[in-house]
Amino acid sequence: MRHRLFILATALLFSSCAEKGDIDAADLLACGVFDPEKQICDKRDGNLYKFVKIDAQVWLAENLKYNSPSSVCYEYDPENCEIYGRLYLWDKEGNKKLCPEGWHIPSDKEWESLEKLTKSDKYLKADTGWYSYTKDNTTYSGNGNDIYGFSALPAGISKYEEDDCDNHKNNGALELAQWNGLGSATAFMPSVLSYKMVLLSDTTLTPCIAENSLVSVRCVKD
């Protein structure tokens, strides 16, 4: 009897929300009840993502967690995926299917627009979670102030070097340690293979991102 009442109550709730137009019925079935003014539902796996409008663009405010064949958790630890999202290998065709329906991997132009608007990495970085760093015997916080709500976390990268790529051979395709940068760095995937968008705790460093690096994904609305 309780089971039937639960099913009836759930059905009425789904029907009520769908009739209001607040949430699509398919989203309710996949993700349950959520606030469509602040979150989107990925119907493929039931993940919910916060989003934020920055000028004319609408961005996910969390890293993608969709489990594609080319993705892994940092150090293969599922807890890292829960906090930081998954890391993805750049794949021209596969990338077209990574983001939820109605969203896409940002183009260089979209990243450039975001950088031009925000002007400083600290405005994109979360206000917690980033390691501090020391320079000239003075310790500085690596955290941002996140005034736009982009909330970038230091999700780490596989294969990167805190140096200038021009000083390395093979266009930065370096044989480095498998995992680097958790707590101090993150790189976001663009729609073309250039890895332009990199955030660091210590902004005085210049990173070199190997071509076969695994990086985070932020999606932007179509």
3-class DSSP state for residue 217?
coil
% of the chain at pLDDT higher than 70: 79
Provide the whole-model pTM.
Answer: 0.82
- Domain boundaries, given as residue ranges, for the chain: 1-34, 38-221
Least-confidence region, from 39-53, 76-90, 155-169, 208-222: 155-169
Which tokens in the block code for residue 110?
């979209």
Which amino acid, residue 154?
P
114 pLDDT band, cuts 50/70/90, is: very high
Rounded CA gap, 187 and 209, in Å? 8
* Nearest by Cα to 85 from 113, 112, 121, 47: 47
- Contacts for 112 with CB less than 8 Å, ≥ 6 apart: 196
